[in-house]
Amino acid sequence: MGSLSPTHWIIVLIVAAILFFGWKQLPDMARSAGKSLRIFKTEMKGLTEDDKAREAHQAEQAGSQSTAPPAVPPAATQPTQPTSGVQPPAPDNQTPRAE
């Protein structure tokens, strides 16, 4: 009996809100909160729709890129020599002179 149940706390909070804000302002505050929540819900739904549209667009782009041949082959497709710690000799950049 010493502690208050959650129902008692809700009643205390309602009475405190009425005393603090006044009876006339509570409906307006509830209406504002409802509008704010409705706007928030609409914006969140818009964000998820934007994400779905972006993913669909990226999938479409990936599909169109796989059918078109690449203009320049990527550098990663060229074979590479394994590195053994020894540098290959530098190419001779001097051209022989005709004398």
What are 28-52's pLDDT values in tens digits?
A: 888 999 999 999 999 998 888 888 8
In a domain, 28, yes or no: yes
pTM of the shown model: 0.40
Contact 66, 58 (CB under 8 A): no
Q: Tell me the pLDDT band of 77, cut-offs 50, 70 and 90.
A: low
**Helix, strand counts (H, E) of the chain:** 2, 0
Question: What range does the domain containing 43 cover?
Answer: 24-68
Mean per-residue pLDDT for 74-92? 60
In a domain, 89, yes or no: no
In a domain, 88, yes or no: no
In a domain, 95, yes or no: no
Domain count, the chain: 1
End-to-end CA distance of the chain: 116
